Chains A and B, each alone.
Chain A
Amino acid sequence: MNKYSLSAFIGGLIFSVGLLLSGMANPEKVLGFLDIFGAWDPSLALVMGGAIAVGLPAFALAKRRKASLLGNAIQLPAKREVDRRLVLGSLAFGIGWGLAGFCPGPAIVATGAAQTGALIFTLAMFAGMWVFHWLESRKAQAA
Protein backbone atom coordinates (compact mmCIF):
# COMPACT_ATOMS: atom_id res chain seq x y z
CA MET A 1 0.00 0.00 0.00
CA ASN A 2 1.45 3.41 -0.97
CA LYS A 3 1.47 6.47 1.28
CA TYR A 4 -1.53 8.08 -0.47
CA SER A 5 -3.69 5.03 0.10
CA LEU A 6 -2.54 4.56 3.68
CA SER A 7 -3.37 8.20 4.40
CA ALA A 8 -6.77 7.88 2.70
CA PHE A 9 -7.47 4.75 4.76
CA ILE A 10 -6.74 6.68 7.98
CA GLY A 11 -9.01 9.50 6.76
CA GLY A 12 -11.81 7.03 6.03
CA LEU A 13 -11.38 5.42 9.43
CA ILE A 14 -11.63 8.76 11.30
CA PHE A 15 -14.61 9.73 9.15
CA SER A 16 -16.30 6.42 9.96
CA VAL A 17 -15.82 6.78 13.72
CA GLY A 18 -17.13 10.37 13.44
CA LEU A 19 -20.27 9.18 11.66
CA LEU A 20 -20.84 6.47 14.30
CA LEU A 21 -20.27 8.80 17.26
CA SER A 22 -22.41 11.58 15.82
CA GLY A 23 -25.46 9.40 15.24
CA MET A 24 -25.36 9.96 11.47
CA ALA A 25 -24.93 6.21 10.87
CA ASN A 26 -28.33 5.57 12.47
CA PRO A 27 -31.15 6.24 9.96
CA GLU A 28 -33.75 6.65 12.73
CA LYS A 29 -31.65 9.43 14.24
CA VAL A 30 -31.30 11.10 10.83
CA LEU A 31 -35.05 10.87 10.20
CA GLY A 32 -35.64 12.42 13.65
CA PHE A 33 -33.56 15.37 12.47
CA LEU A 34 -35.39 15.58 9.14
CA ASP A 35 -38.77 15.49 10.94
CA ILE A 36 -38.70 19.22 11.53
CA PHE A 37 -42.51 19.44 11.73
CA GLY A 38 -42.82 16.60 14.24
CA ALA A 39 -40.87 15.81 17.42
CA TRP A 40 -37.63 17.32 16.14
CA ASP A 41 -34.20 16.07 17.21
CA PRO A 42 -31.81 18.95 16.40
CA SER A 43 -28.64 16.93 17.20
CA LEU A 44 -27.41 16.57 13.65
CA ALA A 45 -27.24 20.34 13.14
CA LEU A 46 -24.37 20.16 15.64
CA VAL A 47 -22.65 17.49 13.55
CA MET A 48 -22.49 19.81 10.59
CA GLY A 49 -21.55 22.75 12.84
CA GLY A 50 -18.69 20.79 14.42
CA ALA A 51 -17.42 19.52 11.08
CA ILE A 52 -17.45 22.98 9.50
CA ALA A 53 -15.75 24.51 12.53
CA VAL A 54 -12.74 22.29 11.76
CA GLY A 55 -13.21 22.47 7.99
CA LEU A 56 -13.14 26.27 7.71
CA PRO A 57 -9.53 26.80 8.82
CA ALA A 58 -8.38 23.59 7.10
CA PHE A 59 -9.76 24.59 3.70
CA ALA A 60 -8.54 28.17 4.12
CA LEU A 61 -5.08 26.70 4.62
CA ALA A 62 -5.51 24.27 1.70
CA LYS A 63 -6.44 27.14 -0.65
CA ARG A 64 -3.13 28.86 0.12
CA ARG A 65 -1.00 25.75 -0.40
CA LYS A 66 0.15 24.49 -3.77
CA ALA A 67 0.85 20.92 -2.75
CA SER A 68 -0.51 18.55 -0.13
CA LEU A 69 1.68 17.37 2.75
CA LEU A 70 2.30 14.15 0.81
CA GLY A 71 3.46 16.22 -2.15
CA ASN A 72 0.67 15.84 -4.73
CA ALA A 73 -1.51 18.66 -6.07
CA ILE A 74 -4.39 19.98 -3.97
CA GLN A 75 -7.55 19.53 -6.05
CA LEU A 76 -10.28 21.99 -5.13
CA PRO A 77 -13.47 22.17 -7.21
CA ALA A 78 -13.43 25.14 -9.60
CA LYS A 79 -17.08 25.04 -10.61
CA ARG A 80 -19.15 27.90 -9.20
CA GLU A 81 -22.42 28.05 -11.10
CA VAL A 82 -25.71 26.82 -9.68
CA ASP A 83 -27.24 24.90 -12.57
CA ARG A 84 -30.15 22.56 -13.21
CA ARG A 85 -28.08 19.43 -12.67
CA LEU A 86 -27.00 20.64 -9.24
CA VAL A 87 -30.51 21.53 -8.10
CA LEU A 88 -32.38 18.55 -9.56
CA GLY A 89 -29.67 16.12 -8.47
CA SER A 90 -29.67 17.53 -4.93
CA LEU A 91 -33.46 17.34 -4.84
CA ALA A 92 -33.44 13.66 -5.89
CA PHE A 93 -30.75 13.00 -3.30
CA GLY A 94 -32.78 14.80 -0.61
CA ILE A 95 -35.88 12.74 -1.39
CA GLY A 96 -33.88 9.50 -1.19
CA TRP A 97 -32.28 10.69 2.05
CA GLY A 98 -35.73 11.39 3.52
CA LEU A 99 -37.09 8.01 2.39
CA ALA A 100 -34.42 5.84 4.02
CA GLY A 101 -32.44 8.12 6.35
CA PHE A 102 -29.20 7.17 4.61
CA CYS A 103 -26.74 9.37 2.74
CA PRO A 104 -23.65 7.81 1.11
CA GLY A 105 -21.13 7.80 4.00
CA PRO A 106 -23.43 6.43 6.71
CA ALA A 107 -24.71 3.76 4.30
CA ILE A 108 -21.16 2.44 3.85
CA VAL A 109 -20.46 2.61 7.59
CA ALA A 110 -23.69 0.79 8.47
CA THR A 111 -22.81 -1.81 5.83
CA GLY A 112 -19.50 -2.24 7.66
CA ALA A 113 -21.57 -2.80 10.82
CA ALA A 114 -23.20 -5.79 9.03
CA GLN A 115 -26.61 -4.19 8.59
CA THR A 116 -28.45 -5.98 5.77
CA GLY A 117 -30.70 -2.99 5.05
CA ALA A 118 -27.64 -0.77 4.64
CA LEU A 119 -26.11 -3.27 2.21
CA ILE A 120 -29.31 -3.25 0.11
CA PHE A 121 -29.30 0.55 0.07
CA THR A 122 -25.59 0.71 -0.79
CA LEU A 123 -25.92 -1.72 -3.71
CA ALA A 124 -28.87 0.30 -5.07
CA MET A 125 -26.84 3.50 -4.61
CA PHE A 126 -23.97 1.98 -6.58
CA ALA A 127 -26.44 0.94 -9.29
CA GLY A 128 -27.71 4.54 -9.40
CA MET A 129 -24.16 5.82 -9.76
CA TRP A 130 -23.55 3.31 -12.52
CA VAL A 131 -26.71 4.45 -14.35
CA PHE A 132 -25.40 8.04 -14.20
CA HIS A 133 -22.00 6.91 -15.48
CA TRP A 134 -23.62 4.93 -18.31
CA LEU A 135 -25.89 7.82 -19.38
CA GLU A 136 -22.98 10.26 -19.31
CA SER A 137 -20.67 8.04 -21.36
CA ARG A 138 -23.47 7.47 -23.93
CA LYS A 139 -23.95 11.23 -24.15
CA ALA A 140 -20.20 11.70 -24.61
CA GLN A 141 -20.17 9.14 -27.44
CA ALA A 142 -23.11 10.80 -29.18
CA ALA A 143 -21.46 14.22 -28.99
Chain B
Amino acid sequence: MTIDWNAFTPLSALGGGLLIGIASAWLILMNGRIAGISGILGGLLDCPRDDRSWRLAFVIGLLVGPTLWGLFHVLPTIEIHASAPVLIAAGLLVGTGTRYAAGCTSGHGVCGLSRLSPRSLAATLTFMGGGFATVFIIRHLLGA
Protein backbone atom coordinates (compact mmCIF):
# COMPACT_ATOMS: atom_id res chain seq x y z
CA MET B 1 0.00 0.00 0.00
CA THR B 2 1.22 3.48 -0.90
CA ILE B 3 -0.79 6.54 -0.08
CA ASP B 4 -1.57 8.81 -3.00
CA TRP B 5 -1.08 12.15 -1.22
CA ASN B 6 -1.86 14.14 -4.39
CA ALA B 7 -5.37 12.70 -4.46
CA PHE B 8 -5.92 13.06 -0.71
CA THR B 9 -8.63 15.66 0.05
CA PRO B 10 -9.13 15.50 3.83
CA LEU B 11 -11.01 18.79 4.27
CA SER B 12 -13.67 18.31 1.62
CA ALA B 13 -14.02 14.64 2.60
CA LEU B 14 -14.57 15.54 6.23
CA GLY B 15 -16.87 18.47 5.39
CA GLY B 16 -18.92 16.30 3.03
CA GLY B 17 -19.07 13.58 5.65
CA LEU B 18 -20.34 16.03 8.26
CA LEU B 19 -23.09 17.14 5.83
CA ILE B 20 -24.06 13.51 5.18
CA GLY B 21 -24.21 13.02 8.96
CA ILE B 22 -26.35 16.14 9.35
CA ALA B 23 -28.73 14.91 6.62
CA SER B 24 -29.04 11.51 8.34
CA ALA B 25 -29.60 13.18 11.71
CA TRP B 26 -32.21 15.44 10.12
CA LEU B 27 -34.16 12.56 8.59
CA ILE B 28 -34.23 10.44 11.76
CA LEU B 29 -35.06 13.34 14.11
CA MET B 30 -37.53 15.19 11.85
CA ASN B 31 -39.15 12.30 9.95
CA GLY B 32 -38.25 9.36 12.18
CA ARG B 33 -36.74 7.50 9.21
CA ILE B 34 -33.35 6.00 8.39
CA ALA B 35 -31.49 7.79 5.57
CA GLY B 36 -30.62 4.58 3.78
CA ILE B 37 -30.76 5.31 0.08
CA SER B 38 -31.27 1.73 -1.11
CA GLY B 39 -34.08 1.26 1.41
CA ILE B 40 -35.75 4.55 0.45
CA LEU B 41 -35.52 3.66 -3.26
CA GLY B 42 -36.42 -0.01 -2.93
CA GLY B 43 -39.34 0.87 -0.69
CA LEU B 44 -40.91 2.78 -3.58
CA LEU B 45 -41.68 -0.62 -5.12
CA ASP B 46 -43.53 -2.14 -2.18
CA CYS B 47 -44.42 0.48 0.42
CA PRO B 48 -47.98 1.58 1.22
CA ARG B 49 -49.20 4.53 -0.83
CA ASP B 50 -49.06 7.05 2.03
CA ASP B 51 -45.39 6.17 2.61
CA ARG B 52 -44.42 6.99 -0.94
CA SER B 53 -44.34 10.78 -1.08
CA TRP B 54 -41.54 11.40 1.46
CA ARG B 55 -39.41 8.79 -0.34
CA LEU B 56 -39.92 10.51 -3.69
CA ALA B 57 -39.25 13.90 -2.11
CA PHE B 58 -35.94 12.65 -0.65
CA VAL B 59 -34.87 11.22 -4.03
CA ILE B 60 -35.82 14.47 -5.77
CA GLY B 61 -33.66 16.29 -3.20
CA LEU B 62 -30.72 14.05 -4.17
CA LEU B 63 -31.35 14.74 -7.87
CA VAL B 64 -31.69 18.51 -7.41
CA GLY B 65 -28.50 18.79 -5.30
CA PRO B 66 -26.14 19.22 -8.27
CA THR B 67 -28.35 21.97 -9.75
CA LEU B 68 -28.37 23.83 -6.44
CA TRP B 69 -24.59 23.41 -6.19
CA GLY B 70 -24.24 24.67 -9.77
CA LEU B 71 -25.95 27.95 -8.86
CA PHE B 72 -23.04 28.86 -6.57
CA HIS B 73 -20.08 26.86 -7.75
CA VAL B 74 -18.63 24.85 -10.60
CA LEU B 75 -19.64 21.21 -10.14
CA PRO B 76 -16.85 18.89 -8.99
CA THR B 77 -15.58 16.50 -11.64
CA ILE B 78 -17.43 13.22 -12.00
CA GLU B 79 -15.33 10.69 -13.90
CA ILE B 80 -17.00 7.48 -15.03
CA HIS B 81 -14.65 5.15 -16.89
CA ALA B 82 -16.73 1.96 -16.75
CA SER B 83 -18.30 0.84 -20.05
CA ALA B 84 -22.08 0.54 -20.42
CA PRO B 85 -22.14 -3.28 -19.99
CA VAL B 86 -20.03 -2.99 -16.81
CA LEU B 87 -22.30 -0.22 -15.50
CA ILE B 88 -25.35 -2.40 -16.14
CA ALA B 89 -23.82 -5.47 -14.45
CA ALA B 90 -22.68 -3.32 -11.51
CA GLY B 91 -26.10 -1.67 -11.20
CA LEU B 92 -27.86 -5.05 -11.14
CA LEU B 93 -25.46 -6.33 -8.44
CA VAL B 94 -25.86 -3.16 -6.36
CA GLY B 95 -29.66 -3.14 -6.74
CA THR B 96 -30.25 -6.79 -5.77
CA GLY B 97 -27.40 -6.94 -3.25
CA THR B 98 -28.47 -3.89 -1.25
CA ARG B 99 -32.06 -5.16 -1.06
CA TYR B 100 -31.00 -8.59 0.17
CA ALA B 101 -28.67 -6.95 2.69
CA ALA B 102 -31.38 -4.39 3.60
CA GLY B 103 -28.96 -1.51 3.28
CA CYS B 104 -25.98 0.09 1.58
CA THR B 105 -23.21 2.59 2.36
CA SER B 106 -25.72 5.02 3.87
CA GLY B 107 -28.16 2.70 5.67
CA HIS B 108 -25.61 0.27 7.11
CA GLY B 109 -22.39 2.27 6.74
CA VAL B 110 -23.52 5.62 8.14
CA CYS B 111 -26.82 5.14 10.01
CA GLY B 112 -26.18 1.55 11.13
CA LEU B 113 -22.70 2.19 12.48
CA SER B 114 -24.03 5.33 14.20
CA ARG B 115 -26.60 3.10 15.93
CA LEU B 116 -23.75 0.74 16.93
CA SER B 117 -25.55 -2.12 15.17
CA PRO B 118 -23.46 -5.34 14.93
CA ARG B 119 -25.49 -6.34 11.86
CA SER B 120 -24.55 -3.12 10.08
CA LEU B 121 -20.91 -3.56 11.07
CA ALA B 122 -20.95 -7.02 9.47
CA ALA B 123 -22.61 -5.60 6.33
CA THR B 124 -20.13 -2.70 6.11
CA LEU B 125 -17.07 -4.93 6.53
CA THR B 126 -18.47 -7.30 3.88
CA PHE B 127 -19.23 -4.71 1.21
CA MET B 128 -15.99 -2.85 1.86
CA GLY B 129 -14.12 -6.16 1.57
CA GLY B 130 -16.00 -6.95 -1.64
CA GLY B 131 -15.09 -3.54 -3.05
CA PHE B 132 -11.41 -3.79 -2.10
CA ALA B 133 -11.18 -7.32 -3.57
CA THR B 134 -12.95 -6.37 -6.81
CA VAL B 135 -10.71 -3.35 -7.44
CA PHE B 136 -7.63 -5.44 -6.58
CA ILE B 137 -8.63 -8.11 -9.10
CA ILE B 138 -9.51 -5.60 -11.84
CA ARG B 139 -6.56 -3.26 -11.44
CA HIS B 140 -3.76 -5.51 -10.23
CA LEU B 141 -4.55 -9.05 -11.39
CA LEU B 142 -6.27 -8.27 -14.68
CA GLY B 143 -4.45 -4.96 -15.14
CA ALA B 144 -7.49 -3.27 -16.65
Contact = CB atoms under 8 A, between A and B. Distances in A.
B contact residues, range: 35 or more
Contact of B94 (A32, A52, A93): A93
A46 interface: yes
Interface string A29-44: 1011011111111111
Contact of A132 (B42, B114, B138): B42
Interface in B80-104: 80-82, 84, 86-102, 104
A interface SS class: helix
Band of interface residues on A:
35 or more
Contact of A131 (B28, B95, B101): B95
B27 to A, nearest CB: 4
A11 B27 contact: yes
A56 B24 CA distance: 10
B91 A5 contact: no
Given A68-B32, A99-B93, A129-B95, A91 B126 contact: yes
B87 A120 contact: yes
A18 B127 contact: no
Interface of A: 1-2, 4-29, 31-32, 34-56, 58-59, 61-63, 65, 67-70, 72-77, 79-82, 85-105, 107-115, 117-118, 120-133, 137
